[in-house]
Amino acid sequence: MKKFLVILVLVVMAAITWGIGVINHTVQLDEDANAKWSQIQNQFQRRSDLIPNLVNTVKGYQTHERQTLIDVVEARAKAHQVQVNLNDEASLKQYMAAQGELSSALSRLMAVAEAYPELKANENFLALQSQLEGTENRIAVARRDYIEAVRAYNTQLRVFPSSFIIRNFTQMKTRAMIEADEKAQVAPVVSFE
């Protein structure tokens, strides 16, 4: 009987230790996802900080491209106004849509620059364009890293037996994933006619 109680206590202690380990690992995954999201926001902020300099550089060369500049400034303002809740898929989609509109407006601005050879040769513009391209690449990498961190976290919450521990002993919930824009799902049509 005494051996049985000792074994029972050891089994219970091992189960508690294992449960604590599962919870701690899930907290680490959650914090990793938070850090990855912060990196996305950091890159969006970097891009946003570059925009006023880019717009001012282009302003001196523009004549009839005023609407493109207005679109960039408005898209930047809208992207700053949207608040995101990472646990709310609709909020995340709205935030990412605002960032997508800013990306689109910046693409149009870069296309406008092609019409002005003097602007394309301007050192300030070239430097800003290079920084913006680098930032867009960093955003893509940060998004990929965040998606992977959320995948790992959500998987931890859903697999058995850790899902049992998490569901019954914590308040942790799955996170919404960043999804590609629906427009990105359609291949562009190329015509040489």
Rg (CA), the chain: 24
State pTM to two decimals: 0.69
Residue 115: inside a domain? yes
The Cβ-side half-sphere exposure at 145, using a 13 Å CA radius, reads 17
Instruction: Enumerate residues 6+ apart whose C-beta is below 8 A from 112.
Output: 58, 62, 65, 68
Query: How far is Cα 135 from Cα 106, in angstroms, rounded to an integer?
Result: 12
Residue-level pLDDT at 193:
46
Residue-level pLDDT at 25:
92
Residue-level pLDDT at 28:
94
Residue-level pLDDT at 192:
37
CA 50, 54, 55: angle at the middle one, nearest 5? Answer: 120
Residue 45: inside a domain? no
Query: How far is Cα 1 from Cα 14, in angstroms, rounded to an integer?
Result: 20
Neighbours of 154 (CB within 10 A): 17
pLDDT < 70: residue spans in the chain: 60-67, 113, 115-122, 180-193
Residue-level pLDDT at 181:
63
Number of domains in the chain: 1
- Residue range of the domain that includes 145: 51-176
Instruction: Identify whether the C-beta of residue 142 lies closer than 8 Å to the C-beta of residue 43.
Output: yes
Residue 83: inside a domain? yes
Residue 190: inside a domain? no
Cα 171–chain centre separation:
24
The Cβ-side half-sphere exposure at 95, using a 13 Å CA radius, reads 20
Backbone angles phi, psi at 181, to 5 degrees: -60, 140
Residue 14: inside a domain? no
- Go through the chain and tell me how many residues it has: 193
Burial class of residue 79 in the structure, from the number of CB atoms within 10 Å of its CB (0-12 exposed, 13-18 middle, 19+ buried): buried
